[in-house]
Structure 1
Amino acid sequence: MGLVDADYSFLWIDVGRNGYMSGAMIFNDSELKECLADESIGFPQPSPLPNDDRNMPYFILADDAFGLRTYLMKPFSHRNLTKEHRICNYRISRGRRVVENGFGILAQRWQVLLGTMQQVPDTARLIVETCVCLHNLMRMRYPTLQNADFDHEDGYYDVVPGLWRQNANMRDVDQTEITILPRNNVNT
Structure 2
Amino acid sequence: MLILFHKPFNVLSQFTDQSLAASGRETLSRYIPVPHVYPAGRLDRDSEGLLLLTDDGKLQARIADPKHKMAKTYWVQVEGAPQESALQSLRRGVQLKDGVTQPAKARLMDEPEGLWPRNPPIRVRKSVPDSWIEVTIREGKNRQIRRMTAAIGHPCLRLIRAQIGEWHLGDLKPGEYKHLMQF
Work out which of the two has the higher radius of gyration on C-alpha atoms and give 1 or 2.
1
Name which structure has the greater RCO, CA cutoff 8 Å, separation 6+: 2
TM-score by length of 1: 0.24
